[in-house]
Structure 1
């Protein structure tokens, strides 16, 4: 079946989705009419209400979708005056592929390129065309590779793949809104879900065929070698982009800092990590495609490219940044357009890394200092109080909290790694050490001369009472003041925590209703309505809109460090008591019929078991 015809079938199926909703509405109307013809009173009213409620969820989703419009175009507009060679390349490729050139070129913060078109009358009348180019592609590709990507996207125009995009958008939204609103016991929802799965199979098959057609345009205009090279480089750039945000930006961002040049930093990392990127390029891409995928596997696409006719092309291995002369300024302009720093402190990269790593170190130390304060019976503690516990032979009590499974008499010796971190904080706070930024390797702790700081041996001395004085002396020789390392956060927070799961509609302390959010650092209890309906969707909406640290700050939060031990009265469904260090008890009771997110009940049992074991040592 030709791709165009497949697309028409896909759109017809979308129309069928709306028609299905109208048919169900008519069916409900007929059923209610029949009910009141043969029955009256409370029974007929209740049955009518159930039918109306069931179909209302479907109609609400359809109505929202009908009224919806695609969002405003995003990204930074690049004019022909700002990038004449880029526009020249795009217009030339459009002419070669036999289509109208885009009206706008926009830079976007994604490892991707895409096209869109504002159309009317079901795509019969064309409108504004936009070409979106990911800034990371401009920063990492050469001209030939970027030409291959642009030719692919323009091939979507020549194949009329974008003409039905607005209709498809509303249709997909209709399905999403409708299927999201119907419950698991809604018979009308079952029909829509089955139809939705069928549509997804058809539409994804169309999308895969369109991608292969656009790939042929890429080969024809840019050449097989350039098209294959671009296809192989895309996952490498994508992995580097994830590495960049995961290891360089995310931790500082959550701690309240931001780098002053987001996109420029990525370009520097890509140039510095040559060995890692080379190893990624050596991996063969997958050629397995699922029927649920919207794109063919990269291996399958490369095989199709290599099987296409070869035509000679002049090689242009210049970096793609030559097409956008003021690329650094464009990166800053894009950053201003799409990045919301909020109230974060914006710092140059070297200072951003130093501040972020120091704060991470402080937060890890605060966890130790809070436990030390509890054991020592003082309001606040620091490294001096930890040393006092070592001197008193009580380090095992403290260390047992940080070395799960280790008896107290063994935990003290194993605490040297934690102590090393505390000593590093003292060195930073004393001004004798700092964190050094690097694009080619992780940040490291260095002294005033830029030499690496290694406190491992001193840390080993500091965990034993008989060698503690020697550790103090060595620290003093280095100018490290023990009293400078002290607590900042006196109360546990959810900063740096990840969401492990969620259980809606649990009972807390035997009465209150709450949605239980399982974080990697503790439990969050969110007040919930008495009705148990829609718990899973309610929790999903909360998690999608709220960061873990904000959840812990906004609602009742019980950090794992506050829990002395756990009493498990029943495992399925869970009925347990959290016994806190301050003597309070928090009861957690899972309902037999409650919703759950994934295998969150198993995660909860695993956490409770671990906390019980920790408390039993």
Structure 2
């Protein structure tokens, strides 16, 4: 089946969705009239009410989509005066593709390249064309690879792939809105099955269009360059993800952000410093994962398909792709200022950002240990001296038990990493050490003179009761007072928390709550008595704010607050929790409550079993 026929079928199926929906409403209306005429007034009234509810839901969904306005363009537009060589390249490639060039070029803050067109009359009349280029992509590709990517995107224009784009996008929005309005009833279930067919066909059309656009990429840039550009995209994406998670995430959650200049500038420094790791990633086989729902074929499939396409001999321009934009760093800074909402966070240069944010995130982890040490020692708060006293007094085993540390054979001292954290953080608190930023590896601890500081002897001495005094003396020589360095926060927070799942309508001490299951604890959100739409409710919660924000708005129960957990039933999960402060909490999952993911209940059970003294007593 040709791509044109597939696209036509996709459009027909899109229209058919509402034909089916209206047909169901008309059918139910006719059935309602028949029921009234057959003197089945009670059944007719119920069916009539249900039909009206479905009709209203459909109208509301269509109205929401009709009123929706497209999001404003992100980032600065590059005029021909701003980037003459880039525009010259795009126009040259458009001519080679026998298509009209885009009307504007805009930058995006992610690893992406895309085109769109504002068409009219259901795609019959073309309109304004837009080309989007991601700054991180420009920071990783060379000019030859960028030409391949641009040729691919312009291929979508030359094959008229963008003509039905706005219609299909609005149609998908309408289908999703309709299904949300009609979830939980038989009509919604039936339309959901129809929608699955539409999305499968639509995805198949998109995948075929990508392969067609790849043909132009090979014809213009040459097969080797086109394949290298494709293989570079997952490398760039992985590098960008690593940059965000390893350099930005902790700082962001701690209330800090890089300057606008440093946001994309930092990624450029990372790419330059990690050439060896990136080269190793390029040697790996391209990703081959793909499902029928994917809008793009896998990179492996696209690279393989290019082998059958006619090749041309085109010299590869190895200049950085960013060189096509004069003053690229300033343009990237403008994009960061416009597109990245720091939301009141303190902006720092990278050296200060790493030192400040890493100290804050490590302190939060250290506080978990200090709160455990305070419980073992029977104190309100703890410092490094408290931990040393616990080890010296033979309480190390109780501390490890409270922290859930289990010794593994051949893994070394199980408390070593914890003690290294406490000692290094104490040195930072005392002002005798500081975390030094690095693009080529993890941050390193350095002394006041800027040279690396070795705390290994102190850590080793702090792990044994017979050498504790030696550890105290060494710390004192460094300028660390163990009685004034230690716990900062009295209670746990959800900083760094990852959502593992969610359970709707769980009875918490007899009152229904939606429970978001994190790797650090649970967020307990009071919920209506009715169990419907629990999954949608939890998705809405997650979309309304970050995990940290949700934990501050609602009750957050950190796992570290749990002393013991008694699992009385696994399916549905019933548990009785005893907290360290003596309070108790009961959790009872209901049969009718929905889950955020299929294994949500199991993930919570796995967390609670760590506090269950006798798992053999649990009954199914």
State the TM-score, normalizing by the size of structure 2. Answer: 0.94
Counterpart of 1:37? 37
In structure 1, C-alpha distance between the alignment counterparts of 2:459 and 2:448, rounded to whole Å: 21
Deviation, structure 1 residue 470:
0.9
In structure 1, C-alpha distance between the alignment counterparts of 2:157 and 2:382, rounded to whole Å: 65
Deviation, structure 1 residue 4:
2.4
Counterpart of 2:49? 49
Contact 2:25 2:54 in 1 (8 A): no
In structure 1, C-alpha distance between the alignment counterparts of 2:437 and 2:289, rounded to whole Å: 40
- Structure 2 counterpart SS, 1:588: strand
Matches within 5 A, 1:455-604: 455-510=455-510, 512-597=511-596, 598-604=598-604
Matches within 5 A, 1:376-455: 376-405=377-406, 414-455=414-455
In structure 1, C-alpha distance between the alignment counterparts of 2:137 and 2:391, rounded to whole Å: 54
Counterpart of 1:122? 122
Cα–Cα, structure 1 residues 259 and 288, in superposed 2: closer, same or farther, change >3 Å? closer
Contact 2:373 2:387 in 1 (8 A): yes
Deviation, structure 1 residue 321:
1.7
Deviation, structure 1 residue 153:
0.6
| More off after superposition, 535-544 vs 384-393 | 384-393
Deviation, structure 1 residue 58:
4.2
Counterpart of 2:140? 140
In structure 1, C-alpha distance between the alignment counterparts of 2:139 and 2:413, rounded to whole Å: 49
Deviation, structure 1 residue 544:
2.5
Contact 1:28 1:52 in 2 (8 A): no
Cα–Cα, structure 1 residues 229 and 362, in superposed 2: closer, same or farther, change >3 Å? same
**CA offset digits 1:369-390 (Å, max 9, x no partner):** 2222333343322112222333
| More off after superposition, 49-58 vs 390-399 | 49-58
Contact 1:366 1:488 in 2 (8 A): yes
In structure 1, C-alpha distance between the alignment counterparts of 2:459 and 2:566, rounded to whole Å: 36
Q: How many residues align?
A: 611
Counterpart of 1:107? 107
- Structure 2 counterpart SS, 1:230: helix
Deviation, structure 1 residue 395:
3.1
- Structure 2 counterpart SS, 1:75: coil
Counterpart of 1:358? 359
In structure 1, C-alpha distance between the alignment counterparts of 2:186 and 2:502, rounded to whole Å: 26
In structure 1, C-alpha distance between the alignment counterparts of 2:178 and 2:306, rounded to whole Å: 39
- Structure 1 counterpart SS, 2:267: helix
Q: Which consecutive unaligned segments of at least 5 residues does structure 2 have?
A: none
1:21 lines up with 2:21 in the alignment: yes
In structure 1, C-alpha distance between the alignment counterparts of 2:600 and 2:300, rounded to whole Å: 36
**CA offset digits 1:110-152 (Å, max 9, x no partner):** 2111001111111122211110011112111111110110111
Cα–Cα, structure 1 residues 67 and 413, in superposed 2: closer, same or farther, change >3 Å? closer
Deviation, structure 1 residue 612:
1.5
- Structure 1 counterpart SS, 2:501: strand
Contact 1:231 1:298 in 2 (8 A): yes
Contact 1:403 1:414 in 2 (8 A): no
Deviation, structure 1 residue 189:
2.0
Counterpart of 2:275? 274
In structure 1, C-alpha distance between the alignment counterparts of 2:513 and 2:55, rounded to whole Å: 29
Matches within 5 A, 1:299-310: 299-310=300-311
Deviation, structure 1 residue 518:
1.1
Q: How big is the alpha-carbon RMSD for the aligned residues of Structure 1 and Structure 2?
A: 2.2
Cα–Cα, structure 1 residues 480 and 289, in superposed 2: closer, same or farther, change >3 Å? closer
- Structure 2 counterpart SS, 1:278: helix
In structure 2, C-alpha distance between the alignment counterparts of 1:248 and 1:314, rounded to whole Å: 37
Contact 1:422 1:485 in 2 (8 A): no
Contact 2:372 2:403 in 1 (8 A): no
In structure 2, C-alpha distance between the alignment counterparts of 1:586 and 1:294, rounded to whole Å: 46
**CA offset digits 1:580-606 (Å, max 9, x no partner):** 111111111111222122211111222
Counterpart of 1:238? 237
Matches within 5 A, 1:48-197: 48-54=48-54, 56-184=56-184, 186-197=185-196
- Structure 1 counterpart SS, 2:107: strand
Contact 2:25 2:51 in 1 (8 A): no
Deviation, structure 1 residue 413:
6.2
Deviation, structure 1 residue 28:
1.9
Counterpart of 1:5? 5
Contact 1:108 1:133 in 2 (8 A): yes
Contact 1:429 1:485 in 2 (8 A): yes
In structure 2, C-alpha distance between the alignment counterparts of 1:172 and 1:540, rounded to whole Å: 19
Contact 1:117 1:130 in 2 (8 A): yes
1:211 lines up with 2:215 in the alignment: no
In structure 2, C-alpha distance between the alignment counterparts of 1:120 and 1:522, rounded to whole Å: 51
Contact 2:136 2:236 in 1 (8 A): yes
In structure 1, C-alpha distance between the alignment counterparts of 2:513 and 2:84, rounded to whole Å: 59
Deviation, structure 1 residue 614:
9.6
1:608 lines up with 2:608 in the alignment: yes
In structure 1, C-alpha distance between the alignment counterparts of 2:24 and 2:501, rounded to whole Å: 36
- Structure 1 counterpart SS, 2:218: helix
Deviation, structure 1 residue 205:
1.8
Matches within 5 A, 1:256-271: 256-260=255-259, 261-271=262-272
Contact 1:24 1:55 in 2 (8 A): no
**CA offset digits 1:451-471 (Å, max 9, x no partner):** 333323322322333221111
Deviation, structure 1 residue 59:
4.4
Deviation, structure 1 residue 69:
4.4
Contact 2:404 2:610 in 1 (8 A): no
State the TM-score, normalizing by the size of structure 1. Answer: 0.94
Deviation, structure 1 residue 54:
4.5
Contact 2:210 2:297 in 1 (8 A): yes
